Structure 1
Amino acid sequence: MRDAVALQTRSNPDGTALVDAATDETWTYDELDAAVETTAGRLAALGVEAGDRVGVLMETRPAFARLAFACARLGAVLVPLNARLSRPELRAQVDALGPVLVVCEADTEADALALDAPAVSVDDGDARAFRDADSVDFAPADLSWGDTRALLFTSGTTGDPKAVRLTYGNFAASAVASAFRLGVLPDDRWLCPLSMYHTGGLSVVLRSALYGTTAVLVRTPGFDASEVRDALATYDCTGVSLVPTMLSRLLDSGGGPDSLRFALVGGAPTPPDLVARALDSDVPVCPTFGMTETASQVATLRPEQAAERPDSAGRPLFGTDVTILGPDGDPVPTGETGEIAVAGPTVTPGYVDGDGDRFGEYGLLTGDRGFVDAGGYLHVGGRQADQIVTGGENVHPEEVADALRDHPRIADVAVVGVPDDEWGERVGALVVPDGDVSLADLREFCEGRLAGYKHPRAVAFVDEIPRTTSGTVDREAALAALADDT
């Protein structure tokens, strides 16, 4: 089996494969194939071989897409690294996976050079320039569905980042299932304003190549609603992937064009009032529940269903089985809440570190709570480990708490998610001080230790952490104490 771009070049060479909304540059599948061939040849010249792991430390841009396809052509494993992480966080991930090379850009070069792996940059700078590597001849990989295509990190439910294995078969099954739910037309143009180091962003590019349709890239980081709205209209986009905060800002800016067939919204639960607001603005919103471990979507709601079930994530996709489990690990009756388990061809074959206890008779134990109603619609209602989802990014409370406990003037701390109209949740910290300490001190202390989105945005100073009789943090009391803090 050849990679998707090579296959599209045979059947759809003149079709538009990729658009860079920042520069208006476009690539046909024939042109993208040539660029991927050159990129793969440069990787080979730098010593990358089939089976090797290649780190990519950059935000969404065409160079990221070319690298993703070039790794496939060589049979190398793509390792997207979150460009928002601190250096210690990045170093831990690189040390865990041992990539033979890290490809960066100007904005991430300093971080890449601080890692224990050779670094090259697609931009000018102090790192070796990627383009200076002479492209050499190589034998394209003979791929199989079971081969690992990418290793993506997820924070999981324990707070320890875990590298998830995703195969070519996982991504292909996800693309098929998504097509059955959202539909695919030859002239589709799917706009991606998400970071490609998350599965929601990467899947847009990979699926579009499998479909032979167009991926339109809006460069990250940051989200400019006017820029996204203009790109949607300029390129007659039929689809877009967003997190709830992005959807809200897009609606504030005037919504989307008539060409839109779907606005896939995930990364965090979409509030019912936001669903209603989108429908009132004629934005065909499709709330979805997905995971890194399932190559993106698990269940997705169609726009025509959203008016009646705005609090649902939709029915499971084609080939995906969702089972709700009780405390004993057995399925619960329809309508009862429990842990969500997922099985099917999109589910990862496992984690790099094993972690077999996340898999059971009914598939992957997601750590999320929810229920399935009588109509078969999934409702996601919380997380087993109280994980915080802020702007589509996962934050585990104990990771933040552990970092804050290292502060010399903090005696105790508890971290919870505080509801937020814009971000879904924000990180809140209840702090027992041991000396003089301020919110500014805490934020400065977190710099270089935690990614920016993990920094506490609400802080309350208390004499002691409220706890239940069993000794766990009393979340309701903690939220009450944080309610008036910003």
Structure 2
Amino acid sequence: MRDLLSHRVAATPDAEALVLAGSGESLTYADLDARAEALAGRLSGLGIVPGDHLAVVLGNRAGYVALVHAAMRLGVRLVPCSDRLTATELAPKLAAADATALVCGADTEALAVAAALDPAGDADDADERPAGDDDGGNAGDDSHADGDRPGWRSVDGFEPARVADDDPDASPRPVPVVSLDDPADDRAVGIDAAPDGEVPSVRWGRADPLLMLFTSGTTGDPKLVTLTVGNVLASATASAFRLGVLPDDRYLATLSLHHTGGIMPLYRAALYGTSVVLRSEFDAGGAVDDVRRYGVAGVSLVPTMLSRMLDARGTLPGCLRAVLLGGAPAPDALIERCRDYSVPVHPTWGMTEAASQIATARPDEAFERVGTVGRPLFWTDVTVTGPDGEELPPGETGELVVSGPSIAQGYYGNPEATDDAFTADGALRTGDVGYRDEDGYLYVLNRVDDRIITGGENVDPGEVAAVLRAHPGVDDAAVAGVPDPEWGERVAALVVRSDPELSAAALEAFCRERLAGFKLPRTVAFAEELPRTDSGTVRRPAVRDRLERVADADAGTDPVEADPAGDARDPEDATAADDGDGDSGPGSDDGPDTDDESAVDDADGDRDGGDGDRSDADANSP
């Protein structure tokens, strides 16, 4: 088959493909096809060829949508990355993905250049560099004179980053940066300056890798899910069977496009022949207004987003047929609120590894069986397993194991993680704990591991703990999630200080330079030592209990001294096996995909994504 857009434009060229919510500008499939073709030609002119890995760090915009389809037309794998990461977080992801080139825009150029071309230099300062700084933030730094800085000042020397096939151990070249806008940094190349190249004739098979999406993992060892054409087609088809699709449907895309729940609607729209209404960022009242203004039929949200939309406007417009709600557990009170105000909520459970939804409940099912995520989608099998992998009967709780054509076959470049998460026959051990009732409805309760889900985003406690331990005034640290009435969970840390004068504010400033905003510890407590088992493992239940008490007592204000470490050999905690450093299991990110950045803007701007803005929504699924 050819790329999806080429098939769609041949079938319905005059159908609406995209609406830009901010301006109301509308593109037909013929318009979108022309933009994708032109972009594919320019990328080809820069030397991008089938099989390359094209990384992207952009906010939601029309050029991103065109790039999604241009990548498929060229036969390259798309690697969407969050535009809310710091350069130190982005750089290892580019390396893990073997990125051939990195596409950015004016607002992400400094981040892209710092991560791709200067990963060992001033990466931490990327977010503070002025957009017009020709030196990418290195003004006055003689270590990068014009003659020896990595990068390209014209397309003539532009060279995609590839390791020679005959020398796989060779050091990779710097990842070249391509901007969709006029670059301010002379190390980036503007796409408009690229020559027109020949767009190859590419044919896709169902087993061919289409894109690679990141799930939770430490900054130094991010995990990449490789999704094939077959995975995406199976997921889109099964979703349509469950939700229903009409030819004139419009779907509101308010999640960031680097998430499963943000990017999948683009592929699905091309398959269905429907339209996407694209928002540049999430705003609760504005999203409701856009639903009404554009007659939107469906939208993907995480619970915090839906709650804020209801707070802003009371209810949602009657044109909506499907509110796909995932990315984090939906509170029962929110489902009941949807019932009372006739909101067509579809609680869903999914993961990046499943190309989106695994199970989805229709509104009547959600209201009658509060807490359910429905039955598995068509072609998808879910088994509840016990400690030894045995299948458990209805009503018994165990790990949920999923199989079917939408399930990825592993993590790119990470055979150990693949072996841990996938069975010999290709089933995915999700790491989620739940049960199935007698009628086949699924209920997801928690995680096998201790991953934190805050505002629909997955946070690896080990990554945060490692950053805290890197502070010279910290001897040790453990990180856990504590309940938060708005975000579901917040990141909290129990810290053992070597410097008694170290404050929570100093720790936050240190972490802010190294972590995205949604990963920052919002509750910090200090203790003389961490509670541990006989084997030396941190007793995470004990850590969590203490942090919950601190959070309750202080309401997230000034940190306090935790109570003494106490008996570190409490038998009830002897089974705790995660010291907060590991990443044990796949990232549960879907529903709208939970896996990298935050889903919503905080009204007071306190939960920023490293650049003071928490506007993109992570929701891996719908």
- The TM-score, its normalising length taken from structure 1, stands at 0.96
Question: Could you tell me how far 1:160 is from its partner in structure 2?
Answer: 4.2
Aligned to 1:462: 527
Is the aligned partner of 1:388 residue 2:452? yes
Work out which of the residue numbers 160, 165, 169 in structure 1 matches 2:230: 169
2:307 is aligned to 248
Matches within 5 A, 1:34-433: 34-114=34-114, 115=116, 116-126=174-184, 127-155=188-216, 160-220=221-281, 223-254=282-313, 255-352=315-412, 353-354=414-415, 355-360=418-423, 361=425, 363-433=427-497
The 8 Å contact of residues 460 and 482 in structure 1, kept in 2 or not, is answered as: no
Q: Distance in 2 between matches of 1:135 and 1:212?
A: 29
Higher alpha-carbon deviation: 244-253 or 327-336: 327-336
Q: Alignment partner for residue 502 of structure 2, among 418, 437, 447?
A: 437
Aligned residues: CA RMSD: 1.6
Q: Distance in 2 between matches of 1:357 and 1:15?
A: 45
> What amino acid does structure 1 have at the position aligned with 2:304?
T
Alpha-carbon offset, residue 332 of structure 1:
1.4
Moved more, 462-471 or 343-352: 462-471
SS in 1 for 2:553: coil
Q: Match of 1:479, as an amino acid? A: E
More strand by share: 1
Aligned-partner residue type, residue 217 of structure 1: L
Preserved contact between residue 158 and residue 396 of structure 1 (Cα < 8 Å): no
Instruction: Please state whether the residue corresponding to 1:161 is helix, strand or coil.
Output: strand
CA distance in 1, matches of 2:389, 2:46: 49
Gaps of 5+ in 2: 117-173, 557-622
Q: Which SS does the other structure have where 1:155 is aligned?
A: strand
- Partner of 2:67, secondary structure, is helix
Which has the higher mean CA deviation after the structures are superposed, 178-187 or 419-428?
419-428
- Matched position secondary structure for 2:493: strand
Is the 8 Å Cα contact of residues 89 and 219 (structure 2) preserved in structure 1? Answer: no
Alignment equivalent of 2:551, drawn from 475, 482, 486? 482
Q: Distance in 2 between matches of 1:301 and 1:100?
A: 40
Which residue is 1:19 aligned to?
A: 19
Question: Larger relative contact order (C-alpha < 8 A, sep ≥ 6)?
Answer: 2
Distance in 2 separating the partners of 1:30 and 1:213: 13
Q: CA deviation at 1:200?
A: 0.7
Query: What CA deviation, in whole Å up to 9, does each residue of 1:109-167 have, x standing for no partner?
Result: 11111213100111233232112223323223111111100011111599942011000
SS at 1:253's partner residue? helix
For residues 207 and 421 of structure 1, the distance between their equivalents in structure 2, rounded to whole angstroms, comes to 34
C-alpha spacing 1:253/1:482, structure 2 compared with 1 (3 Å)? closer
Aligned with 1:306: secondary structure?
A: helix
Which residues of structure 1 form unaligned runs of 5+?
none
Distance in 2 between residues matched to 1:41 and 1:392, nearest whole Å: 37
Cα distance, 1:177 vs. partner? Answer: 0.6
- CA pair 317-400 structure 1, distance change in 2 beyond 3 A: same
Larger Rg: 2
Question: 1:346 and 1:279 mapped to 2: Cα distance?
Answer: 31
Change (3 A) 1:52 1:217: same
Partners of 1:416 and 1:479 within 8 A in 2: no
Question: 1:323, 1:362 within 8 Å by CA — same for their partners in 2?
Answer: no
Query: 1:159–1:283: structure 2 CA closer, same or farther, 3 Å change rule?
Result: farther
Residue 269 of structure 2 aligns to a residue whose secondary structure is: helix
Percent of aligned pairs with the same amino acid: 50
Distance of 1:309 and 1:47 partners within structure 2: 54
1:23 CA displacement: 1.8
Note if contact 1:339-1:366 (Cα within 8 Å) is conserved in structure 2. Answer: yes
Count how many residue pairs are aligned between Structure 1 and Structure 2.
484
Amino acid at match of 2:381: D
1:407-448 CA distance string (max 9 Å, x none)? 111122111111112111110111122221222111100123
SS in 2 for 1:381: strand
Of 149-158 and 55-64, the range deviating more from structure 2: 149-158
The alpha carbon displacement at 1:458 in A equals: 1.1
Matched residue SS, 2:329: coil
CA distance in 1, matches of 2:553, 2:73: 54
Q: 1:58 to 1:157 in 2, by over 3 A?
A: closer
Cα distance, 1:466 vs structure 2: 3.2
